[in-house]
Structure 1
């Protein structure tokens, strides 16, 4: 299906996020427009009509819809992956954590749809990094049982590692997120033993999983993401390919990386 005309929707809906999300209801099972807005906002969607009115003209000037569409189609063709509906919307330019950890861009992937949240000044290589990361999630979710609806914390941790190594291989190390460089090997081992391994079977949708992945509250900042990146890096260093790892379950990937208690 590819990129949908969300720029036209934004114009017709006067940037109202609730009216925009009402258009998305058919793409979700049993979710209201308010539910969808609340969910997408967590991943970086703009928050108000005023924001949309300020950002939309500049996004159009920078031809973001054409650029995102081209990059997405190129990646889908390269990976021979599923063709899913793609939604491009303005990012929340007042989200400090997103600016620090994700260069001000955001996204969220499902097995059957994909959302990107961008700002007018994002360069093509930054857009490509986001597209590769999130589309890699789509491809991985398609390989998980029940399209990932039963995913665990460990599934989510490994999925983030796979996606960011796909960025490194496809776009280059320079476009990898800053969290890939936050911690040394000893810290990663500690995070694994203390936080991830004991909770690896917790549902990925449980609030604890988000706290561990992002490092909310007292947990290490972006700790779950960093552990996932380290797990996949070790597998690659041991001779496994990213293509091979994409088809292997998370527990086995952790075991191949030599992480303790990954049986």
Structure 2
């Protein structure tokens, strides 16, 4: 299926919304079609969830006009087909949508863009002026998640903290390999020169097997009130995966189906591949 032509949805929104914020039309065009991925009780509840995660709102109609003038859908689709062949991945729909300006500060930690991945589809939120390779980096990261989920069959309420950070690390390693380190997310550089071993002991080690993504969001994204550094879990996962790949002289494609526990031990240097 690849890239769904959500630019056509946006054109209809502008045409029939008559340049005014129109929540009913917004729900019909952008939210209802996504229920196949999310299965929320109502379109309104799904809209609230997506808005919290960075999707534009009916008030962002001027930015909608700007994004549909771009050729994002064409080259994103070309890149998706390339990745699908390279990683022998599944054919899933990819929904490319506008990110909300109101979430710009929150999205800054992830490069001004956001994605939601499932075994059967991807939703991407981007700013209207995103650079081409930044979009391709986001798509690479999220599609890598889809490929790994195809093998692990993990769910939001069952996935361990360890699997979550390894999944994030491998996906960003994939970005590095396909597009170059320049296009990796900002969080991959956060503690490059300031990493503290004590963070592992204080925040990470005892929670590695905790299940349910919502139960360890504090360590994944950081928590100022708990003195947990921003994006700590993401960074640690990337650190482990890059170390493992270097020690084994391999890449994210080979590690795609490797259990998280093995990558963790290789990343720590505690186990050799036989």
- Alignment counterpart, residue 223 of structure 2, candidates 216, 219, 222: 216
> What is the alpha-carbon distance in structure 2 between the residues aligned to residue 225 and residue 23 of structure 1?
30
> What is the alpha-carbon distance in structure 2 between the residues aligned to residue 93 and residue 259 of structure 1?
43
* Map of 1:230 onto structure 2: 239
> What is the alpha-carbon distance in structure 1 between the residues aligned to residue 96 and residue 174 of structure 2?
21
CA drift at 1:76: 1.7
Q: Which runs of 5 or more residues in structure 1 are unaligned?
A: none
Tell me if the contact between 2:142 and 2:171 (Cα under 8 Å) persists in the aligned partners. yes
> What is the alpha-carbon distance in structure 1 between the residues aligned to residue 196 and residue 170 of structure 2?
16
Partner of 2:102, secondary structure, is coil
- Alignment counterpart, residue 252 of structure 1, candidates 262, 267, 274: 262
> After the TM superposition, which residues 133-144 of structure 1 pair with which residues of structure 2 at under 5 Å, given as runs?
133-144=141-152
2:137 is the alignment partner of 1:151: no
* Map of 1:128 onto structure 2: 136
Tell me if the contact between 1:161 and 1:228 (Cα under 8 Å) persists in the aligned partners. yes
State TM-score, norm by structure 2: 0.85
Q: Deviations over 1:142-193 (max 9, x none)?
A: 1114567621111111111001111100000001112111114773532322
Give the stretch that moved more between structures: 35-44 or 104-113. 35-44
Tell me if the contact between 2:187 and 2:235 (Cα under 8 Å) persists in the aligned partners. yes
The alignment yields a C-alpha RMSD, in angstroms, of 2.3
- Alignment counterpart, residue 173 of structure 1, candidates 146, 168, 181: 181
Tell me if the contact between 2:220 and 2:232 (Cα under 8 Å) persists in the aligned partners. yes
> What is the alpha-carbon distance in structure 1 between the residues aligned to residue 154 and residue 108 of structure 2?
34
Q: Which runs of 5 or more residues in structure 2 are unaligned?
A: none
CA drift at 1:21: 1.0
CA drift at 1:79: 1.8
> What is the alpha-carbon distance in structure 2 between the residues aligned to residue 248 and residue 153 of structure 1?
16
Partner of 1:202, secondary structure, is coil
Of structures 1 and 2, the larger Rg is shown by 2
> What is the alpha-carbon distance in structure 2 between the residues aligned to residue 72 and residue 95 of structure 1?
26
61 and 186 in structure 1: CA distance in 2 versus 1, 3 angstrom threshold: closer
Partner of 1:257, secondary structure, is helix
Q: Deviations over 1:1-49 (max 9, x none)?
A: 1122222223435464433212222333454323322332343211x21
Partner of 1:151, secondary structure, is coil
> After the TM superposition, which residues 45-194 of structure 1 pair with which residues of structure 2 at under 5 Å, given as runs?
45-46=55-56, 48-51=57-60, 53-146=61-154, 150-184=158-192, 187-194=195-202
CA drift at 1:131: 0.7
* Map of 1:2 onto structure 2: 2
State TM-score, norm by structure 1: 0.88
Q: Deviations over 1:93-152 (max 9, x none)?
A: 222444422221111111111011112211211111101101011011111145676211
> What is the alpha-carbon distance in structure 1 between the residues aligned to residue 102 and residue 155 of structure 2?
33
